[in-house]
Amino acid sequence: MLGGFRKLAVDGLAYRTEKATEEAVHAVEGVVKEVVEHAKEAGEKAIAEAFKKAQETGDKVAKEVTETVTNTVTNAVTHAAEGLGKLGH
């Protein structure tokens, strides 16, 4: 009789242990999924920020080059006009 109760108790304990393990695994899977999602979002945000900064830097460089070329051409034309003006006097 005691052997039968012992077997039932062991089987019940094994069943509860199995269920608790399954719940723990499920909980860990949920946490891992959430961590991976947050990491993915953080990575996407970092990449977007890097592209934005690269675009801003490219825009700044383009503006500086345009200003430099404009100033150089303006100075050359002004200098040439002044030289022609001196020739006319």
DSSP per-residue letters across 24-84: HHHHHHHHHHHHHHHHHHHHHHHHHHHHHHHHHHHHHHHHHHHHHHHHHHHHHHHHHHHHH
- Give me the pLDDT at residue 11, please: 82
The CA–CA distances, whole Å, from 31 to 14, 27, 35, 36, 75 equal 26, 6, 6, 9, 65
The pLDDT tens digits for 50-89 are: 999 999 999 999 999 999 999 999 999 998 888 777 766 6
| pTM for the model | 0.53
The whole-number average pLDDT for the span 22-50 is 93
Residue 1 has pLDDT above 70, yes or no: no
The whole-number average pLDDT for the span 18-44 is 93
Measured distance CA(48)–CA(44) in Å, rounded: 6
The whole-number average pLDDT for the span 33-49 is 94
